[in-house]
Every structure is written in C-alpha cells, then in structure tokens.
Chains A and B, each alone.
Chain A
C-alpha cells in the first residue's frame, strides 16, 4: 500500500455517497405515496340548505303582556350599610310549649322514658306530659311560668299577717290573688297547694290533681279559712301534718330542723311538679323581728346553747347578780305588757278593728318606747362550750339540702323550675345594716338562692303596717296596775 491515507479517503467518500442515494430514494417513495393519497381524495363541500321560517301565530286568547321587569316587581334598589349581601332568613322559633305537640311520639329509638336530647328543658317537659292541653300560663305574684304540673307553696304562718305586714287584711289580699291564679288554671292542668307554718306542713291533696272546678273551689275554700281570725292564726295544729317521705341521701339539715318553705319543698318534690312557686314571709325557722336576721336553727343545739350560756353567766357571782336584777325587772314588765295589750285591744274593739296580732311577747313594750333592760353579753363566748355558729345552718348547707333532696327525686330530668316571692314587711328600712351586708336577711338569702337556681324572684310589698291605736306610757300603766291591785285587796 503506497498511499494508504488516500485509500481511506476514497472508501469514506463512497460510503457517504451510497447513504445519500438510499435516503433520496426512500424520501421519494414516501412522498409519492402521500401525493397519491392526497390527490385521490375528493375535496369536502358545504351544502347550504334553506331553513324554513316559523310563522308567528296569533294568540287565540288575548293576553295582556307585561314587561318582564314589571312582572318581577322588584323593589327599588337600596343602599345599606350592611356588609353581608343577604338578609338573614326568618327562623320560626317555637313558642314555649309548642314542642309539646311532638313530645310523646313513641319510637323505638327512644330513651326508656322517651327522649334523649341535650336540651334538659325539653326532656323535662316531655317526660311530664302526655298532651299539651294542660299547659297553663301562671303568673304567681309577678313570677311567671308555663307548665302542666304546677305546685304552689304558700306561707300560712302568723308572721304573714303580722302588724307590719298589714294584719289579716294582708292575707285577704293574698287570697284574692290566689283565687285569680287558681281560676286561670286549665282544667287539665295538674296542680296542688302546700301551706306551711313553721314545723307544720299541710297539703291540699296528697298528689297533684286536675284543676277541675270542684278542686279549685275546695282548695280556695281551704285557704280562705286560714288566717281569718286573730284567735286562730296559722295552720290548725290539731290537724295532722303531712308525712314527708325521706330519701336515702344524707342531708345536711336534719328532718326535725327542716321547716317552712324548705320542708314544703321536700314534700313538693315527691309530687314531681314541673314548676314550684313559693310565697314566703321569712327565710328560716327563726327570724329576728328587729333586724330581719333569718336562719334555720339547729333546734337541739340552740336549746343546749341557751341553757349552757345561762349556766356560764350564773357561774360568775358578779354576773349572776346582774342577771338576777335584769330578770326581776323583766318579771315586773310582764303584767305591764299584758295590761298594755288589753288596753290596746279594747281601744281597737271600740273602733271596730281586729285585735292586735302579737308577733313576739315584748313587742308592745318596744312599740311604746318602754326601756327594756339590756341583756348581758358574754366576755368569753368560747366558755359556753358551744359556739353560736353551731346553733344555725349556713346558707350553703340549706342550698345543699335543697339540691340533694330535689335531685334524688328528679334525677335525669334535671332540677325543676322554682320561683320565689317574698312578702316584705311594710316600712322596712334594713338597707345597709350589718345583717344586709353580711347577707343574713331573708331578702338577701332569697336573692342568693334564686341567683343560684337561676329562678325568678320577686318581692311584693305588704299592706301598710297597722299602728297602735293607743300611745301608752309605762308609768300610767304601772299606776293603773297598782290601783287595780289595791281595789282587789279592798
């Protein structure tokens, strides 16, 4: 090989030429096929067809055609400051009591006592009623409620007709109001009335009864016979008091210390009303007429305390002497009190007035500005061995008692509605007193109670207080008593 480089060049050129020729042939073939296909295809044509026009028909019945906008009768556009474009839709909120109509439908998916809802009120209402026909709207001295099972609890103690509440006339007014309340009950409403006078609690019927004309009349007759005669105030103690079944739950207040509205409430819960209305004069079993301090006493402890207190006082010779003097002075005031009362009643009789209602024995002495000897305070109260705080129940203990005996009965139905009305004494000026500041008065305690129960509370003003006819002087009375004594001797 003389010139190998030249030979390599020739081979490379030949290969490139052959490759080029093959490619040209292939491209020509492909182009030919495509050309043949394209030219054989007939070109697409558009056919134009004449479309028939619909003829307008004449209407058989002439119709007055209004413009579309008028048909819509849209109000004129207004500019408002609202951010949201759409006004909220009106929602039909059922009135209280309307749900009753759908309450007792028996379904398989139901609780044993029919309803499983989160709304406790609904459960409560539905469980109590079969129909909605007995639903009564009650306006009890300004506290309102709507229910089918209503229980009224009224204080019938002599305190309700005390002189500072207007005497017997106060109860007559209450009776008239009660008559209106009871008359408004629908006949299918179940109701009952409980009256209380300290330890004594009496019910109209042992269970709730339909408010028929017969029951309404009987109930009102029963109430109308109470507190009408000064000689026989309060409930008739000879009649048996209602037996209150005690539950299994432990109560802070013992059964013997349970009095008044609390005792009545315990009886009321056993009848299982939906709503309970209370009308009371005082809070507790003991109310100080002077300060309106009111509390439920631990009776045994209180008597024990008073005995031991006296014993403690008398154990000191000096104090014992002081106590003897005070006791003698008070003893001398007993006939004065009796004479004053006798004269006052005589004067009232002459003026055709009811005799005086005595709330506490030495009341007339205070009213006639008689100096009553001061009581002896203990210098070391702990010497008695019992503290005064032990002689009464705290507000919290009363609350717990009410809650426990109620929930023991009501259980899953929740706490029933309770509304309270307090008949306040006329001419009361107890604001800003120590008792009020310390929340010890009847008014303060009821306010706390109703706040806790989320209940309604109303204070109603009593009638005008009855003033004494006579303004008596202790010395005149004492002279009179002396003269009488002398006359007797003669």
Chain B
C-alpha cells in the first residue's frame, strides 16, 4: 500500500509541475499552457500548445517559474541527478579482559568524612568482560549530471537503531535476581540536516548521515571451582553467595538509514526524493513518525 501511495505522490508532484499555468509576458498579456521542456542553451521553453518560446518573452516572475520548473525536472530525474548511498564505519573500538571479580564494601568514616573501601576478590570466579563500540554512518553522493546547476538542496537523514540497556548493575547480588540478564530496548533516531546552496553541472558532493552508535557488551562470570568443592567451601555472604555461573550480554541493532533530499518546487514547497538502507525502509516507515 505504501509504495503505491508514494508512487501516487510522485506522479502528483510531477503532474503538479506540469499543470497548465497562466504565463504573462512583458506586456502583460496572458497565456495558459503547460511546459513540456526547457532548453537551457537556447533559453527556449517548449509549451504544449504554443510550441517553442524564448524565455525573455515572459515576465520576470514567470521566467523564475520556468527555471524552477526546469530545476525540479532535473532534480527528479534519476539519470541526471544521481544518488548513491554507501555504508561506512567511522570508528570502532573493542576492549575485552579477564579479571577477578570483586566485591567492594564502602563506608564513610564518622567525624572525618572520608570514604573507606574494602576490596574482596571473589577468587572462585573468573570474569570475562567485553565491550565493542561501533560508529556506523552512511555517506550519500549527490551528482548533478544536468547541464544546469541545482540550487537550494536540503538533505535530511535519519539513522535508526535499537539501543539495549541492562536493567540492573553488574553487582554479584544482582546476579541472583531474574532481572540480571534482562535488557531494555529503546529505539534511537539520530537526525542530521545539511543544506547545499548550489550543485554545479557534473559536481559531486558527499553528505553524511548522523552516526548510529552500536554497542555490544558481554559479561561472563564463570565459577572456577567444581560443584563438589563448592559444597565443601563455606561461601560467606560477602563473596557473593553460593550462586554459580552467571552471564549476560546485550547487542544494539541497526535498523537503517533514510535520506530525503529536497528542492523547492515552483511554488516554493520542498519536493523530496528518498533513498534508504535497506532499500525499502522509506517505504515501510513514515518520516514524521520517527
């Protein structure tokens, strides 16, 4: 349903640009006709009923209308105004470590107000902890293959991803709770907007989306002693109780990126072209609802 709607919108936009228009010449005489084509070299406009007419024949307002119509026509052409989307990774970091988990007791010393700590290593356990951070971004190449410049281009993008969060801290005591490995997922939408005042013929410009920051985190506490040994040992409460292995992980999910590129139509309203990753993302989602 959505693709059909978009197609209708596009056709309507094109039709709107090709609707009959009442032109006025320099002497104030009017003429109702529809533009078929504009020749930038000869500065002639081809009208449906009145054939070729020089641009200078029209009033200044209509000249602007014709040029704007031509620009929109060039903008909407996928051949003459090319869009290429590329996925990129702008930064990536990873840290993993094996360590002895600890329980840190703390208190404030009365009358001195100093914080005191006591660190108890939980030597029965080995903890593997890792974090991987990824800054994913997209670059959009805009290439003007028209014989005329395109002006006042607006590029908006939305990078969408799902961020995951642990519900509890990594406390040993929390590890006994059901919520320890539970995660909350929240959708993040990062918006970026850029304006390009002019794209001259054969010029290629690259604009970028906002970055989607994806995190992957793992925590894996392994009990080093066997169950029999564990039974023999007296595991005091400070050592984290007598629960066995516990682990949890979370991984953010990249949904996609949606670029919309707009240019003012003859009425001054922005007409948009869309490109996304995955290709059908912009057909499935609604821009204003993101």
A451 to B105, CA, bound (A): 29
**Stretch from A197-205, A348-356, A378-386 at the B interface:** A378-386
B45 → chain A, closest Cβ, in Å?
28
Residues of the A chain whose Cβ atoms lie less than 8 Å from the Cβ of B207: 112
The residue that B163 contacts in the complex, of A250, A388, A415, with Cβ under 8 A, is: A250
**Known A108-B202, A108-B204: A415·B93 in contact at CB below 8 Å:** yes
Number of chain B interface residues as a range:
35 or more
* B110 lies within 8 A of A438 (CB): no
Smallest distance from the beta carbon of B116 to chain A beta carbons, Å?
6
User: Does B109 lie at the interface of the complex (its beta carbon under 8 Å from any beta carbon of A)?
Assistant: yes
User: Total interface residues on A, using CB and 8 Å?
Assistant: 70
Q: How far is the CA of A375 from the CA of B106 in the complex (A)?
A: 9
A438 pairs with B119, CB closer than 8 A:
yes
A399 CA / B116 CA spacing, docked (Å): 26
Q: How far is the CA of A378 from the CA of B97 in the complex (A)?
A: 30
Q: Given A112-B206, A360-B114, A434-B120 in contact, is the A412-B90 Cβ separation under 8 Å?
A: yes
Interface residues of A in 405-444 (CB under 8 A from B): 407-408, 410-415, 434-435, 437-440
A120 to B175, CA, bound (A): 41
- Of B20-28, B34-42, B68-76, B133-141, the segment with at least 4 beta carbons within 8 Å of chain A is B133-141
One digit per residue, 1 when the CB lies within 8 angstroms of any chain B CB and 0 when it does not, for chain A 433-471 equals 011011110000000100111000000000000000000
Against A, the Cβ 8 Å flags (1 = close, 0 = not) of B44-83 are 0000000000000000000000000000000000000000
Partner of A306, one of B108, B213, B237: B108
Stretch of A66-74, A156-164, A390-398, A478-486 with 4 or more beta carbons under 8 angstroms from chain B = A390-398
The reply to whether A293 and B119 form a contact with Cβ atoms under 8 Å apart is yes
Complex contact A388–B237 (CB within 8 A)? no
**Chain A min CB distance to B246 (Å):** 13
User: From residue A410, how far is it (CB to closest CB) to chain B in Å?
Assistant: 8
Determine the residue in chain B with the shortest Cβ distance to A112: B205
Quick check: is A15 within 8 A (CB to CB) of the other chain?
no
A99, CB-defined interface residue at 8 Å: no
Main secondary structure of the interface of B (DSSP, over half): strand
Of B6-14, B165-173, B227-235, the one contacting chain A is: B165-173
Contact status of A407 and B90, CB under 8 A, knowing A108-B202, A388-B171, A438-B119: yes
| Chain A residues whose C-beta falls within 8 Å of the C-beta of B183 in the assembled complex | none
Which of A248, A250, A387, A438 contacts B169 (CB under 8 A)? A387
Report chain A residues within 8 Å CB of B289. Answer: none
- Whether B222 sits at the interface, judged by CB under 8 Å, is no
Enumerate chain B residues within 8 angstroms of A109, measured Cβ to Cβ.
Answer: 204
Q: Please give the distance in Å from A446's CB to the nearest CB on chain B.
A: 12
Say yes or no: is B226 at the interface (Cβ < 8 Å to chain A). no
> Does chain B have a CB within 8 A of A343?
no
B276 → chain A, closest Cβ, in Å? 18
**Separation in Å of the A101 CB from the closest CB of chain B?**
23
**Most chain A CB atoms below 10 A, which of B137, B172, B173, B190:** B173
Contacts of B120 in A (CB 8 A): 434
| Proximity string of chain A (275-297) to chain B, C-beta cutoff 8 Å, 1 when within and 0 when not | 00000000000101011010000
On whether the beta carbons of B95 and A451 are closer than 8 Å, the reply is yes
Is there an interface contact between A403 and B213, defined as CB atoms closer than 8 Å? yes
Contact B94 A438 (CB under 8 A): no
- CA distance in complex: A414, B213 (Å): 12
The reply on A318 being an interface residue by CB < 8 A is no
B101 contacts across to A, CB distance below 8 A: 438
Q: Which residues of B contact A116 (CB under 8 A)?
A: 139, 206
Partner of A438, one of B102, B106, B172: B102
Closest to A298 in B: B169
CB distance from B266 to the nearest CB of A (A): 27
With A112-B206, A249-B213, A331-B111: A438-B121 Cβ-Cβ less than 8 Å? yes
B-to-A contact residues, CB < 8 Å? 88, 90-91, 93-95, 97, 99-121, 129, 131, 133, 135, 137, 139, 163, 169-174, 188, 190, 194, 196, 200, 202-208, 210-211, 213, 215, 217, 237-238
Q: Which 9 pairs of residues, A with B, have the shortest CB-CB distance?
A: A389-B171, A111-B206, A387-B171, A452-B95, A415-B91, A361-B112, A407-B135, A396-B131, A438-B102
Given A113-B206, A389-B170, 15 additional A-B pairs, CB 8 A: A112-B206, A250-B163, A288-B117, A306-B107, A331-B110, A362-B114, A375-B107, A375-B116, A377-B105, A381-B237, A395-B95, A396-B217, A411-B90, A435-B102, A448-B97
**Subset of 28 A-B contacts with CB under 8 Å:** A108-B203, A112-B207, A291-B117, A310-B108, A330-B111, A330-B112, A331-B111, A337-B112, A362-B112, A372-B109, A381-B173, A388-B106, A389-B104, A403-B91, A404-B213, A407-B135, A408-B211, A408-B213, A410-B91, A411-B137, A411-B210, A412-B88, A412-B90, A415-B93, A437-B99, A440-B102, A448-B97, A452-B95
